[in-house]
């Protein structure tokens, strides 16, 4: 444990297919992988612990990963090698079980991980306090749920919560108390896509699609990848059956889309531009996606207008791709200025964009508020994005990570000092602002919110 730092109306073929896919995925997410015993991984998983020795692990405490990033290759190698002396003193393997004496550095994977499914068994003792670090970040909590001295900080709620989340953030407290009595093995199943984290403890859902906070910088998103660490904290803890499966982008997008919320309606039938207006001759439908024609552009937007809403979509960028999401667009003019905003859709890593204003990169409210970079999938892969518009507030979640959370009513400085006369619009169309690149969009749905 570490203390937190302060601080559906349209039943198109596409829609029906998405609904079926969502149901199937929900079954996948709920039904745990059948973890085999004796440290033998189930199909599709890799064993992180071989049941014999500490091969594949080193030692690290609660250590700011930004300091690791700043190390030279030689300094990091020496730092890592030195840690093994501590690991040898406090960690051992007996009869296929990984045992820590309650002290020393935390066992840390050689490899870093991003989107994963993690299976892990543990057994601990009274008054022990431990956890699992994801992406070098604390933590999925493990502790003695009977220790009354810690009831004031949540021990009575049980293990499995994202304990270092801020108090008002979902996931900090587990949804159920699922700990087994001392002497029995507990089993975690952890699914993490972006910062979205789902946790089962002993087959009970304890965290449901919650955002894991970045302990190292509460104002920044969770790191894109990092080490898995087994924390040691004041009492013996044993581990076994530690298996990981890396999640690819297609599956990750389905997991993100499976987050259950009612009220979404499809705005694209997957076959035509029915229900869309504007530059329809500049776009085409191909393989179930709306695609801006290469060398063309213009603004394509929904016939329907929206005030407050949540939009979900997938998009795919070609190399150097540039487009944008038109938000509360009045149907004429440049969406970035005449509409509430254009949320940039951009290949951030293309050489021609190396020197843009920070308010021009992907997810940014164009010219007004900068999104955090580094969370796009490789060019050519489909990305999942959710956009929430509520009054003057905008939240952009990309691939499970919030990259923009801003209030345009508080913006007073603009790129090139250009005015944004549409910024305060309360209603308008949703659409795309093409800039000559074959950017694709699919699985488009919107959930209207109360004004």
Q: What angle do CA 342, 347, 349 make, to 5 degrees?
A: 130
Taking the mean position of all CA atoms in its chain, how far away is CA 135?
A: 12
pLDDT value, residue 259: 84
Contact 168, 373 (CB under 8 A): no
Mean pLDDT in consecutive groups of 10 residues from the start of the chain, 451 residues? 37 41 43 67 97 98 98 98 98 97 97 98 92 98 92 93 96 97 95 98 98 97 98 92 98 93 93 97 97 96 98 98 98 97 98 97 98 97 98 98 98 95 97 97 96 81
For 367-424, write each residue's pLDDT tens digit.
999 999 999 999 999 999 999 999 999 999 999 999 999 999 999 999 999 999 999 9
Query: pTM score, two decimals?
Result: 0.91
- Please give the CATH topology (third level) of the domain spanning 31-254: Jelly Rolls (2.60.120)
Q: Residue 339 contacts by C-beta under 8 Å, 6 or more apart in sequence?
A: 326, 327, 328, 329, 330, 333, 422, 425, 428
Domain with CATH 2.60.120.560 in the chain: 31-254, 261-448
pLDDT value, residue 36: 64
Separation CA 207–CA 174 (nearest Å)? 6
Strand 226-231 to 341-346 pairing? unpaired
| CATH code of domain 261-448 | 2.60.120.560
Q: What angle do CA 405, 439, 422 make, to 5 degrees?
A: 45
């Amino acid at each position: 444990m570490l203390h937190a730092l302060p601080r559906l109306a349209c039943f198109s073929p596409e829609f029906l297919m998405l609904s079926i896919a969502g149901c199937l995925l929900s079954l996948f997410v709920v039904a745990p992988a059948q973890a085999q015993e004796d440290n033998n991984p189930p199909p599709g998983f890799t064993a992180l612990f071989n049941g014999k020795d500490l091969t594949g692990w080193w030692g690290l405490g609660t250590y700011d990963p930004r300091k690791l990033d700043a190390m030279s290759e030689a300094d990091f190698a020496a730092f890592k090698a030195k840690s093994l002396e501590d690991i040898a003193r406090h960690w051992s393997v007996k009869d296929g079980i990984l045992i820590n004496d309650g002290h020393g550095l935390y066992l840390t994977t050689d490899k870093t991980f991003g989107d994963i499914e993690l299976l892990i068994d543990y057994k601990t003792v009274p008054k022990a306090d431990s956890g699992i670090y994801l992406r070098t970040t604390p933590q999925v909590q493990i502790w003695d749920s009977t220790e009354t001295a810690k009831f004031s900080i949540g021990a009575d709620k049980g293990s499995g919560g994202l304990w270092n989340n801020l108090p008002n953030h979902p996931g900090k407290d587990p949804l159920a108390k699922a700990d087994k009595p001392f002497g029995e093995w507990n089993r975690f199943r952890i699914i993490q896509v972006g910062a979205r984290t789902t946790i089962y403890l002993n087959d009970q859902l304890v965290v449901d699609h919650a955002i894991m906070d970045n302990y190292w910088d509460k104002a920044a998103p969770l790191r894109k990848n990092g080490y898995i660490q087994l924390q040691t904290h004041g009492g013996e803890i044993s581990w076994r059956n530690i298996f990981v499966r890396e999640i690819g982008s297609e599956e990750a997008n389905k997991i993100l889309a499976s987050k259950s919320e009612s009220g979404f309606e499809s705005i694209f039938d997957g076959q035509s531009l029915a229900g869309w207006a504007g530059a329809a001759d500049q776009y085409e439908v191909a393989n179930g996606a709306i695609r801006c024609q290469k060398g063309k552009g213009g603004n394509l937007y929904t016939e329907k207008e929206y005030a407050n809403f949540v939009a979900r979509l997938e998009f795919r960028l070609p190399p150097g791709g540039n487009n944008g999401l038109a938000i509360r667009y009045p149907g004429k003019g440049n969406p970035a200025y005449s509409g509430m905003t254009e949320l940039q859709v951009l290949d951030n890593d293309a050489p021609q964009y190396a020197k843009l204003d920070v308010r021009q990169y992907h997810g940014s409210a164009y010219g007004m508020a900068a999104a955090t970079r580094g969370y796009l999938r490789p060019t050519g892969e489909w990305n999942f994005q959710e956009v929430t518009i509520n009054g003057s507030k905008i939240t952009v979640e990309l691939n499970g990570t919030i990259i923009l959370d801003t209030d345009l009513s508080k913006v007073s400085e603009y790129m090139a000092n250009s005015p944004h006369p549409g910024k305060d619009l309360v209603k308008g169309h949703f659409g795309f602002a093409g800039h000559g690149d074959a950017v694709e969009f699919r699985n488009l749905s919107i959930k209207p919110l109360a004004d």
